[in-house]
């Protein structure tokens, strides 16, 4: 199948066009290429397809198709993601929710006679429409987040930048913006980095934010209780590393709540060791946050380093 420009039809049809000879030759080559048919152009809007139909060109047919429309333009481009010409999700939520959005393809059986003319058409399986996916994104908040990132980009010229806005009362994500922006209608000019939703698809060290998951996992497993206390030395050794606090201190006794409130490195490691050195990947999987069900939005796997680490017994 060969994709050509729609103007080719017009130039090939009009003998007074200065491009007539070249267009006619290209069109002749396309329609005589091996195969059942050749695409002249795909995803043609209704206005252009109507004009082509009015030309009444023999051998030129039309096939109904769908076109992605974006009422908000490029807003949340990396989050929403791109689709192929066949409507298959390629990135972002278009990929992660493709099975929901796509629905189920139907199947028909076409029987031709010896001359290749169709003599029967039977529907074997009916097609099923996909279902909509509703986001918590607020378009106004998303636009403002992208505006701020654009200003950051213009002022500081970073490699990239991202911003996430959440409602602290409900944990709903109101905006998830990435910079530089991407034009989903011009995928040929977009790089893989520009298509990446930085908020969920980029590798960042979790840092102290992971302490909350460690403590939550320990509470859920019964390893500690809200009233548990620990006597913590100034530092703690794990394998070949010495973990210390962000500021020097002596030996202290802290409760679970204090360990979180003070973001104690030694306290968090102590709680983690109380669970038998439970892998961070397992902790996230227990919370259904390992990304395995968010293909294209989060990485499929969490990389843990060192991979085979086990605490000293």
Burial class (CB in 10 A: 0-12, 13-18, 19+), 222: exposed
Q: If pLDDT is split at 50, 70 and 90, which confidence band does 302 have?
A: very low
- Written as six digits, the tokens of 238 are 């794990």
CB 100 within 8 A of CB 130: yes
- Gap between the Cα atoms of 41 and 119, Å rounded: 29
Which residues carry out catalysis?
A: 208
Query: What HEC string does 232-277 produce?
Result: ECCEEEECCEEEECCCCCCCEEEEHHHHHHCCCHHHHHHHHHHCCC
- Give the single-character DSSP code of 35: S
pTM over 0.85: no
- Gap between the Cα atoms of 304 and 301, Å rounded: 9
Q: What is the mean pLDDT of residues 236-256?
A: 93
26 vs 194, higher pLDDT = 194
Q: What architecture is the 209-286 domain classified under in CATH? A: 3-Layer(aba) Sandwich (3.40)
pLDDT at 9: 65
Residue 48 has a CB neighbour count (10 Å cut-off) of: 13
The verdict on whether omega for the bond into residue 180 sits within 30 degrees of 0, i.e. cis, is yes
Highest averaged pLDDT of the listed ranges 51-60, 197-206, 213-222: 213-222
Q: Where in the sequence of the chain do the CATH 3.40.710.10 domains occur?
A: 209-286
pLDDT digits (tens, 9 = 90+) for 90-145: 899 999 899 898 888 888 888 888 887 888 888 888 888 889 989 999 999 999 99
305 vs 184, higher pLDDT = 184
Q: If pLDDT is split at 50, 70 and 90, which confidence band does 8 have?
A: low
Average pLDDT over all residues of the chain: 81
Q: If pLDDT is split at 50, 70 and 90, which confidence band does 177 have?
A: very high
pLDDT at 277: 65
Burial class (CB in 10 A: 0-12, 13-18, 19+), 91: buried
């Amino acid at each position: 199948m060969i994709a050509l420009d729609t103007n080719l039809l017009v130039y090939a049809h009009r003998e007074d066009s200065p491009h007539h000879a070249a267009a006619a030759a290209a069109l002749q080559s396309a329609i005589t290429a091996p195969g059942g048919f050749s695409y002249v152009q795909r995803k043609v809007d209704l206005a252009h397809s109507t004009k082509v139909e009015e030309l009444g060109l023999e051998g030129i047919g039309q096939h109904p198709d769908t076109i992605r429309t974006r009422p908000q333009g490029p807003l949340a481009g990396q989050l929403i993601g791109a689709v192929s010409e066949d409507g298959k999700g390629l990135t972002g939520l278009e990929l992660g929710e493709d099975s929901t959005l796509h629905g189920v393809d139907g199947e028909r059986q076409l029987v031709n006679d010896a001359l290749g003319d169709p003599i029967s058409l039977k529907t074997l399986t009916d097609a099923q429409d996909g279902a909509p996916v509703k986001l918590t994104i607020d378009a106004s908040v998303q636009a403002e987040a992208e505006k701020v990132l654009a200003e950051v980009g213009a002022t500081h010229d970073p490699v990239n930048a991202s911003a996430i806005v959440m409602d602290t009362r409900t944990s709903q994500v109101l905006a998830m913006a990435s910079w530089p922006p991407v034009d989903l209608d011009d995928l040929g000019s977009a790089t893989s980095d520009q298509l990446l939703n930085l908020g969920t698809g980029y590798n960042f060290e979790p840092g102290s934010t992971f302490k909350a998951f460690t403590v939550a996992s320990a509470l859920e497993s019964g390893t500690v209780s809200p009233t548990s206390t620990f006597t913590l030395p100034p530092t703690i050794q794990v394998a070949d590393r010495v973990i210390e606090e962000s500021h020097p201190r002596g030996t202290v006794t802290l409760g679970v709540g204090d360990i979180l409130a003070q973001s104690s490195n030694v306290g968090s490691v102590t709680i983690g060791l109380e669970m038998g050195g439970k892998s961070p990947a397992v902790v996230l999987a227990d919370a259904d946050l390992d990304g395995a069900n968010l293909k294209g939005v989060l990485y499929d796997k969490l990389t843990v380093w060192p991979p085979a680490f086990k605490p000293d017994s």
